[in-house]
Structure 1
Amino acid sequence: MVNYNSITLPLHSGNPPTYLIRRMTKLAGCITKVIIDDKGTLEFMKKLSDPLWFQAFGCVLGFDWHSSGLTTVVMAVLKQSLSVESHGIAIAGGKGKKAKGTLGEIQNICNHEFNLTEDKIQTLIYASKMCAKVDNCAIQDFYALYHHNIIFDGCGNWSVVQQGMNTSTNTSRRYHWFSKWLKNGYVLEPHSGLIGDANFGNKVLDMTNRNSIENQKTSLDLVNDHQNLANIYDSLSKISTRRKDMSIDNWINQPVINNNLFRLPEFSDPASDLHYYMPRKIDWNLMRKIYDIHPSTYEEFLSIPGVGPSTIRAVSLIAELIFGSKTSWNDPVKFTFAHGGKDGVPFFIDKSNYDESTRLLQSCIEGAEISREERVSSLKKLTEFNHRMFNQENKDYQSCNPNLGKNS
């Protein structure tokens, strides 16, 4: 049974066969061209930023409906099949080492393919860096990014698709971004959607949640404190010495567990041992650098080179435990689907809205310059995906929720 709030994406090893890649490349190019010719590049990037539409698109191209490889291969196929000349869109980045070359690719594409101003080029570079920084540091969900793509057009519009891996559960999680969605910047509920397996047993630090705004402000005050580093160090000492037998040196030297995060027993939430884990160590040279920069916003603080998960978590915990500035410990993957969730969070599934997305894919397949066999196969896969996502789940849920499909 499918849960709209979370979908398990198991990690799959190996490579798809060559014949499948050829088919996917051709079909992806044809479908994309139909969408762009009819609705423009912005609409295509908007669709890519919808996690369920992306999932359906991958299934149409020939992938298992919930495979982790769907993300990496679909983006690699799109990068290979799309061109600025034919589609008006470029893609930078990729999996592993290719992700590290994203910024250079953006610069190269903008210089040779698009006539973008230097300001727009720097905006794209900043977007690529900040999307990765937020999902690696501001959201600490135990998924480490290993794949990153930014898709952009000649007007500077962009969409980001990136994926993280959790080796302990052998699952992945995909993060979607869209430039038109960023009305409140990069640190206030910026995603267009997330898809993956929710960490129901763990507390996830989410500094982008609205409930973390107070903690953001206090964290910023801490790193800009006029007493420089003394206040932070003193606060850490207070936290670590609440128990007479536990000094700061003791907990710094404890064994590494759970991704280099450490537990303070006196502050642990009984419902979750991961709630108040402190980082193993604090980079005091970095703290001095932050103070010298004197960031004016939380986003600027996050963007400083060297500011990683440990720094974000340590300052956040000090803000909460010493100064009472609450933050969100809810996994964001449960609340960020563009089409809603079956439990009414943030609203009930808008079936008509998703039907429209499905119809768009269907019309693109029917209008694409492909063989009849390819068309039939793609439509069949789309039908199978829709059946998995809606039919059985809706039958079970409709009996006790007659208002399913209405916004709450």
Structure 2
Amino acid sequence: MTQRSGSADLPLHGGRVPKWLGDRMTRLGAVLCQAIIHHYGRDELLRRLAHPFWFQSFGAVMGMDWHSSGITTSVIGALKRGLTPLSGELGIHVCGGRGAHSRKTPHELEMIGERVGFDGAALATASRLVAKVDSAAVQDGFDLYLHGFIVTDDSRWVVVQQGMNGDRRQARRYHWLSEGLKSFVDQPHAAIEGERQGEIVNLTDRRAEASRSGQLDLLRQLGPDRIVHEFAAIQPATASAKRDNAQPMLPNLVMPAHHDVRESDIVMRRLHGNISAAIESGPTDFPELLLVPGVGARTVRALAMVAEVVHGAPCRFSDPARFSLAHGGKDRHPFPVPLKVYDETIAVMKSAVAKAKLGREEELAALQRLDGQARRLERYVTGPSLKEIVAGEFDQSHLLGGRSVFGPEPPPEGALPGGAKKSG
């Protein structure tokens, strides 16, 4: 996966992640990272985290609000809680966080450096520079409030940080990746997420090198007072002039303001492939997954999307909303979180990773085959509409331990004990 730039609109959402979901996000996030490291190595996990489309899908499959800025905070928090106890085994460390936690990042890096042997002071400097570039060198109207720094024992790292524009109720997420980074001030970002809003002063663009040098020369030669005077003289002409070398539009992932999941938010053929792989192939072709007690076709469907998060290529994550169909969302969009399914997913993944550590790859291999089967089936299968899929989830939500921030999901009106409906 190469470095890339992009942008997306992330609506600001308030509220907190409830403990019942936060605890599960911690466990699922950690075991998914273990599976990725087992298959592809630590560097690949960093590349995934530096990819804004994958990052959003990662949060959606864990039951967070699929389109909101809250995914950034909750995912970084879940990874810090889940991976810290495993840092000695995996060689990966999550530092920083939101607000006051972000300011502790340099100290955390120095402490970890003393413990594991890398240059913590140099990485602390990198952390400060990353924050300074996104707050000062890229003037886009977003004030930073979150800084997550994820580093491996061999000093490779990724930074995910986020700023907000309170007036517009929007957030922008910035991704940095140490792989291939040659300069902090010459196009260093792996990706930038956020809606394009007017002109952005981006002094990290390589085309701004002359501007950066010129600014230093002006400060030395003229001083700040003379610069202000000269700027006042040229401002009218500058305002009316057209730019001859306009910056091209960057690839843009738009996270819509609407909270409900719509068919326009999803590549339906991919969703039908996920569902078909679980229904048609899960019980017969993937018996290793079904050996975990209680696991049925609904859990295998969730596992098909989880497997895609582990194995999917970057192009597979252009529709993060689809991954919310695995475990729902805490605000009942697209449906309440089915806790029984969620817990079974965690159990399957933990079992697969634990056995893989002992050299028994059957369950992890089954998940990889499940992902491949979904991609093959999506070429020709059809299926129900999104409205029908969501309606079915709501009908059985109370049977699957459905829960949201509003509480446990009650049975639908007219439902009989055991889930059947009264006949007309």
In the aligned structure 2, how far is the partner of 1:125 from the partner of 1:63? 30
CA contact (8 A) 1:9 1:173 kept: yes
How many Å apart are 1:18 and its aligned residue?
1.4
Q: Could you list the runs of 5+ residues in structure 1 that have no partner in the other structure?
A: 243-263, 272-325, 339-350, 352-357, 392-408
The answer to whether the Cα contact below 8 Å between 1:176 and 1:192 also exists between their aligned partners in 2 is: yes
Q: Which amino acid aligns with 1:268?
A: A
Q: CA deviation at 1:269?
A: 4.5
Instruction: Return the match for 1:376 from 283, 301, 306.
Output: 301
Q: Distance in 1 between matches of 2:14 and 2:321?
A: 28
The equivalent residue for 1:250 is none
**Residue 335 of structure 1 aligns to which amino acid in structure 2?**
L
Of 12-21 and 139-148, the range deviating more from structure 2? 12-21
Deviations 1:85-120 (A, max 9, x none): 2321101100011111111111122223x122xxx2
Shift in Å at residue 387 of structure 1? 7.8
Distance in 1, Cα, partners of 2:46 & 2:223:
45
| Maintained 8 Å contact 2:195/2:252 | no
Q: Distance in 1 between matches of 2:224 and 2:34?
A: 54
The answer (yes or no) to whether the contact 1:11–1:67 under 8 Å persists in 2 is: yes
Deviation at 1:27, TM superposition (A): 0.7
Shift of 1:267: 3.8
In 2, the alpha carbon distance for the partners of 1:386 and 1:177 equals: 19
Report if the CA contact (8 A) 2:60-2:321 is conserved: no
- Deviations 1:237-289 (Å, cap 9, x if unpaired)? 233256xxxxxxxxxxxxxxxxxxxxx55643488xxxxxxxxxxxxxxxxxx
- For 1:27, give the aligned amino acid: L
Could you tell me which residue of structure 1 aligns to residue 150 of structure 2? 151
Scaled by the length of structure 2, the TM-score of the pair is: 0.58
* Cα 1:69/1:84, change in 2 over 3 Å: same
Q: Residue by residue, what CA displacement relative to the aligned partner does 1:61-96 show, whole Å, maximum 9, x if unpaired? A: 112221100000000000000031232110110001
The 1-side partners of 2:231 and 2:129 are apart by: 31
- Counterpart of 1:320? none
Aligned letter for 2:186?
L
1:92 corresponds to which residue?
Answer: 95
Pick closer, same or farther for the CA change 1:61–1:99 going to 2, 3 Å. same
Query: What's the counterpart of residue 170 of structure 1?
Result: 169
Q: Give the structure 2 partner of residue 57 of structure 1.
A: 58
Q: Conserved in 1, the CA contact under 8 Å of 2:145 and 2:162?
A: yes
Could you list the per-position Cα deviations for residues 300-321 of structure 1 after superposition, in whole angstroms to 9, with x for gaps in the alignment?
xxxxxxxxxxxxxxxxxxxxxx
SS of residue in 2 equivalent to 1:161: strand
The counterpart of 2:209, out of the listed 198, 209, 213, is 213
Q: Which residue of 2 aligns with 1:281?
A: none
Q: CA deviation at 1:190?
A: 0.5
Letter in 2 for 1:175: Y
Aligned equivalents of 2:32, 2:306: Cα separation in 1? 15
- In the other structure, the counterpart of 1:191 is 189
- SS of the equivalent of 2:189 reads coil
Residue 43 of structure 1, CA deviation: 1.3
Unaligned 5+ segments in structure 2 are 254-266, 268-273, 279-288, 310-315, 323-424
Question: Which residue does the alignment assign to 1:161?
Answer: 160
Deviations 1:119-166 (A, max 9, x none): x22221121111111110111000110000100011111110000000
- From the superposition, tell whether residues 91 and 337 of structure 1 become closer, same or farther in structure 2 (CA, over 3 Å): farther
Alignment of 1:62-73 (within 5 A): 62-73=63-74
What displacement does 1:22 show?
A: 1.6
Contact 1:25 1:78 in 2 (8 A): yes
1:274 is matched with none
Give the counterpart of 1:101 among 87, 98, 104. Answer: 104
1:188, 1:209 within 8 Å by CA — same for their partners in 2?
Answer: yes
Alignment match, 1:237: 229
Residue 45 of structure 1: how far off its partner (Å): 0.8
Q: Please state how far the C-alpha of 1:189 moved relative to its aligned partner.
A: 0.8
User: Secondary structure at the residue paired with 2:141?
Assistant: coil
Kept in 2: contact 1:148–1:160 (CA 8 A): yes
Helix, strand or coil at the partner of 1:66:
coil
> Counterparts of 1:274-313 in structure 2 under 5 Å?
none
The residue number in structure 2 matching 1:268 is 239
Q: Report the Cα offset of residue 194 of structure 1.
A: 1.1
* Equivalent in the alignment of 1:115: 117
Residue 283 (structure 2) aligns with: none
The residue matched to 2:109 in structure 1 has which SS? helix
d(CA) in 2 for partners of 1:382, 1:167: 36
Is residue 143–residue 165 contact of structure 2 (8 Å, CA) maintained in 1? yes
CA RMSD after TM alignment: 3.6
Cα distance change, pair 379–65 in 1 and its aligned pair in 2 (3 A): farther
Deviation, structure 1 residue 212: 1.1
Matches within 5 A, 1:64-83: 64-82=65-83, 83=86
Give the conservation status (yes or no) of the 8 Å contact 1:213–1:327.
no
Provide the TM-score with structure 1 as the length reference. 0.60
The 2-side partners of 1:370 and 1:35 are apart by 24
Moved over 6 A (4+): 326-329, 381-385
Q: Alpha carbons of 1:327 and 1:101: their partners in 2 closer, same or farther (altered >3 Å)? A: farther
Q: Give, in whole Å, the separation in 2 of the partners of 1:370 and 1:49.
A: 36
Tell me, yes or no, if the aligned pair for 1:138 and 1:208 is still in contact at 8 Å. yes
Secondary structure of 2:8 counterpart? coil
2:49 corresponds to 1:48 = yes
8 A contact 2:7–2:252 mirrored in 1: no
Q: Tell me the secondary structure at the aligned position of residue 165 of structure 1.
A: strand
Distance 2:81 2:174 in 1: 21
CA distance in 2 between partners of 1:36 and 1:111 (Å): 24
When the two structures are aligned, how many residues end up with a matched partner?
276
Structure 2 distance, partners of 1:146, 1:70, is 14
- Tell me which residue corresponds to 1:25: 26
What is the identity, as a one-letter code, of the residue corresponding to 2:100? K
